Structure 1
Amino acid sequence: MAREMQKNTMFIEQNTGDYENGDPQKNLDDDGREKRTGTWVTASAHIITAVIGSGVLSLAWAIAQLGWVVGPAVLIAFSFITYFTSTLLADCYRAPDPVHGKRNYTYMDVVRAYLGGRKVQLCGLAQYANLLGVTIGYTITASISMVAVKRSNCFHKHGHHVKCQTSNNPFMIIFACIQIVLSQIPNFHKLSWLSILAAVMSFTYASIGLGLSIAKAASGGEHVRTSLTGVQVGVDVSGSEKVWRTFQAIGDIAFAYAYSTVLIEIQDTIKASPPENKSMKRASGVGVTTTTLFYVLCGIVGYAAFGNDAPGNFLTGFGFYEPFWLIDFANVCIAVHLIGAYQVFAQPLFGFVESLCARHYPDNKFITREHAMDVPFCGVYYLNFFRLVWRTAYVIVTAVLAMIFPFFNDFLGLIGAGSFWPLTVYFPIEMHIAQAKIPKYSFRWVCLKILSWVCLIISLIAAAGSVEGLIQSLKTYKPFQTRNEE
């Protein structure tokens, strides 16, 4: 029964007879689970896949709201905050010692080990609500990229002034069908190849967007207006619009770096030597540095190319029309990347529900039993019927919600506002204080608390901006109208 319990978590284990040389211990880690084989390279791929979303192409809009000075400064500031708190969280993977302590497999487990009490439930609520929102948002965004391919061909054939309206729903269904198949990958441990592919795709479309922006800015074909403070009151926007857009831009940048929701799950794929916290810190450094470089370049060059009229996304929003084949390729890369990113964010939620059900119903064969299947060219796959039904149902529900609420990205911003501060800043800082036993009111304690409070204020500001955007979306929402990203 213990073996069945282990199989039904995120980590599938083989029977001891399947191991070579008859010694199962050689294939198990110190916690009795299947030996982890991940490295800082695969962890970096997971991070880049989680962090560099299609939102990188909307940073020109964010910079346009903030201007030449504040925009890049906010980008760099949040990169430092994210990296710093990620290193604190990486040290908490094992408790109480960061190198030799007991492993914690999820963010909630880490909070339980260091803080306990109601904070565990608050962490779970913030984390899994965020993961749910992200997967729905990715379903919407991927369909927009797929639609953009069809519209790009239409514009090329019939001219740029034709509406070329196309429904997003068929593409959401296609995306959901792909996710149903990929969701049967049992755990994060088996996702490295998908994350590496997705990371390559993110580099590709970000580079294409950057290259097209450079070409547009260098051509000097049309005059664009830029300024030190971004969009101008009385010229581009009203005073109130300037305030709300500034809040939204800060929120977009803050949440663009947030991958703490899956950091512990990523770290749990890394092999024990060298120590996991050391590898994870290196991966975080590589991931955050890489994403910051792309963010700054895409934001600054995109702003230089489009000025204060920068679109929300210059690939799906048609900041460019030609060469149409390159736009098509970039949008295909976005869709492929989001296919992988969906899994990176969905797997922790899958594992949480499956582990919870296994603990509550250990004798239920439908939940616990694994059925070995010999898959040609892939080896043995362990099929679990509960996993098949639950994950398929989850993907279908997220797709249906995405079709019903096409403005769900506004909800996603609100969910992100509610999860950024607790998951990226508050819990890592509080657990570090508990782990390092930092004296109350000491200089280090005060500095950490100030950072936490500043980020809380930013989250509240971003939440206000998201609520205002949601209200505007509700006012203009027509349930049966075809929606395309302009």
Structure 2
Amino acid sequence: MVSASASKEDPLEDQWMVKGPPRNAKWWYSTFHIVTAMVGAGVLSLPYAMAYLGWGPGTMVMVLSWCITLNQMWQMIQLHECVPGVRFDRYYDLAQHAFGPKLGPWIVLPQQLIVQVGCNIVYMVTGGKCLKKFMEITCTNCTRLRQSYWICIFGSTHFLLSQLPNFNSVSGVSLAAAIMSLSYSAIAWVGCLSKGRIENVSYGYKKTSGADYMFRVFNALGQISFAYAGHAVVLEIQATVPSTPEKPSKVPMWKGAVWAYFVNAICYFPVALIGYWAFGQDVADNVLVGLERPSWLIAAANLMVVIHVIGSYQVFAMPVFDLLEKTMVKKFNFPPGILLRILVRSIYVAFTLFVGVTFPFFGDLLGFFGGFGFAPTSYFLPSIIWLVIKKPRRFSISWFINWVCIYVGAFIMLASTIGGFRNIIADSSSYEFYS
């Protein structure tokens, strides 16, 4: 099997863009990579999304999103080796095969970069906020630092971790992150359950103007779509799994994906439903913020979030690093090596850190990025590619399901992008930058 993007003239002989990535990953590697990529900051905002959608619509959107994105992941896994003897190691490699070498990257690459860079920015904010919360709980007499400082402290760890070369090298970090995501999700819903419903809890829709409420509902759709953002890196993950004609990579990869979605379900649904049950319409955009007792457990949960988003940042950043380094060598004749890695990756980490410090609107960022980038890559772009490559019979089950996914995904993309952008503007008017 060869990589679709392999090139003998490429000087980066030590990089996976020539020979392909190291293909020695086990099926469970894909499980915790997908869990790390998907079960992240978004799970803590699901009760907040439920507060605007309500019990019925909120639960329906959660279930529908889980089913649609699982189907989309299955299709991507099948398409990874849809051409005999060729492996599409990147999302845009598959897009080039589907739409042509010129049009393909323009359709997929901007959306994929929005997902990956957007996740990294949001994880900077999440990591800093949770680190701040952890220190405030564990050290009540310590001098209180600005949130911006905590985001910078969190971001500083990535200047070192970003020097790890590829997906396999961050497998240990990713495994720890996956365990942390399962743990803090359990703490979140168990904490809400033990706390019980707050006094005078209300499950009615939030009281606001009609226009504002509509935009907040749109933003809630984006927050839910953000929670299913792992598809942007699924082909890169599958590229590390060995494959032969007798044992194609799609078999172990699908096994890993099913287990990842099982973990996804036991994280997402209890947090969303029990968190909303406990706080109703007064739930915060990060459900852990509303939990104060027992303090040691809440502190531990916040520290687990910090560890998790450290791993998640690296999982989403690795394909970006690969693309940037490839561009620097091919377009600007920059010599490959350690200097290139240090320069490119440090600048990227600094950029995401700067944007995260400047725009720390957690819930609104989830909604905006969820609609603008994550909805296409997770909800309907795989369906479009499937229709182009596989050409299912008109009005067949496969044809019908994919068109439903396209229409639902397109609506979520438009609605949540508008809602998230509007809410960022509205909330920024009352925010003191770098406070």
- Same fold at TM > 0.5: yes
2:52 corresponds to: 65
Q: CA deviation at 1:167?
A: 0.7
1:214 corresponds to: 193
Counterpart Cα distance in 1 of 2:381 and 2:41: 27
Contact 1:67 1:226 in 2 (8 A): no
Identity of counterpart residues, as a percentage? 29
Matches within 5 A, 1:267-346: 267-272=238-243, 274-315=247-288, 317=289, 319-346=290-317
Q: 1:413 to 1:10 in 2, by over 3 A?
A: farther
Q: 1:325 to 1:357 in 2, by over 3 A?
A: same
Counterpart residue type for residue 426 of structure 1: F
Counterpart Cα distance in 2 of 1:64 and 1:426: 26
2:3 corresponds to: none
Among residues 185, 195, 199, which one is paired with 2:174 in the alignment?
195
Moved more, 75-84 or 468-477: 468-477
Deviations 1:213-247 (A, max 9, x none): 11012xx6x534344xx425xxx444334322222
Q: CA deviation at 1:393?
A: 1.4
Q: CA deviation at 1:58?
A: 1.9
Counterpart Cα distance in 1 of 2:291 and 2:359: 27
Q: Does 1:137 align with 2:122?
A: yes
Q: 1:78 to 1:209 in 2, by over 3 A?
A: same
Q: 1:452 to 1:408 in 2, by over 3 A?
A: same
Counterpart Cα distance in 1 of 2:373 and 2:32: 23
Q: 1:44 to 1:205 in 2, by over 3 A?
A: same
Structure 2 gap ranges (5+): 1-6
Counterpart residue type for residue 172 of structure 1: I
Q: Does 1:455 align with 2:409?
A: yes
Contact 1:75 1:292 in 2 (8 A): no
The TM-score normalised by the length of structure 1 is 0.81
1:152 corresponds to: 137
Contact 2:225 2:370 in 1 (8 A): no
Q: CA deviation at 1:345?
A: 0.5
Counterpart residue type for residue 136 of structure 2: R
Q: 1:60 to 1:395 in 2, by over 3 A?
A: same
Counterpart Cα distance in 2 of 1:431 and 1:312: 34
RMSD over aligned CA atoms reads: 2.5
For the residue of structure 2 that corresponds to 1:94, the secondary structure is: coil
Counterpart Cα distance in 1 of 2:21 and 2:215: 49
Matches within 5 A, 1:395-474: 395-407=349-361, 410-411=364-365, 413-440=367-394, 444-474=398-428
Q: CA deviation at 1:35?
A: 4.5
Q: CA deviation at 1:83?
A: 0.3
1:55 corresponds to: 42
1:36 corresponds to: 23
Counterpart Cα distance in 1 of 2:352 and 2:172: 24
Q: 1:200 to 1:241 in 2, by over 3 A?
A: same
Q: 1:447 to 1:44 in 2, by over 3 A?
A: closer
Q: CA deviation at 1:102?
A: 0.4
For the residue of structure 1 that corresponds to 2:163, the secondary structure is: coil
1:231 corresponds to: 205
Q: 1:451 to 1:358 in 2, by over 3 A?
A: same
2:113 corresponds to: 128
For the residue of structure 1 that corresponds to 2:146, the secondary structure is: coil
Among residues 369, 390, 410, which one is paired with 2:344 in the alignment?
390
Q: 1:443 to 1:289 in 2, by over 3 A?
A: closer
Deviations 1:46-78 (A, max 9, x none): 111011113212212222222222222211110
Q: 1:452 to 1:226 in 2, by over 3 A?
A: same
Structure 1 gap ranges (5+): 12-30, 159-163, 370-383
Matches within 5 A, 1:254-265: 254-265=225-236
Q: Does 1:113 align with 2:97?
A: yes
Contact 2:219 2:364 in 1 (8 A): no
Counterpart Cα distance in 2 of 1:423 and 1:314: 27
Counterpart Cα distance in 1 of 2:201 and 2:295: 26
Contact 1:94 1:103 in 2 (8 A): yes
For the residue of structure 2 that corresponds to 1:38, the secondary structure is: coil
Q: Does 1:5 align with 2:24?
A: no
Among residues 181, 194, 214, which one is paired with 2:160 in the alignment?
181
Q: 1:135 to 1:32 in 2, by over 3 A?
A: closer
Counterpart Cα distance in 1 of 2:390 and 2:274: 42
2:336 corresponds to: 368
Counterpart residue type for residue 225 of structure 1: V
Contact 1:93 1:103 in 2 (8 A): yes
Q: CA deviation at 1:4?
A: 7.3
Among residues 228, 231, 244, which one is paired with 2:215 in the alignment?
244
Counterpart Cα distance in 1 of 2:296 and 2:329: 49
Q: 1:69 to 1:440 in 2, by over 3 A?
A: closer
Counterpart Cα distance in 1 of 2:352 and 2:401: 40
Among residues 143, 149, 154, which one is paired with 1:170 in the alignment?
149
2:431 corresponds to: 477
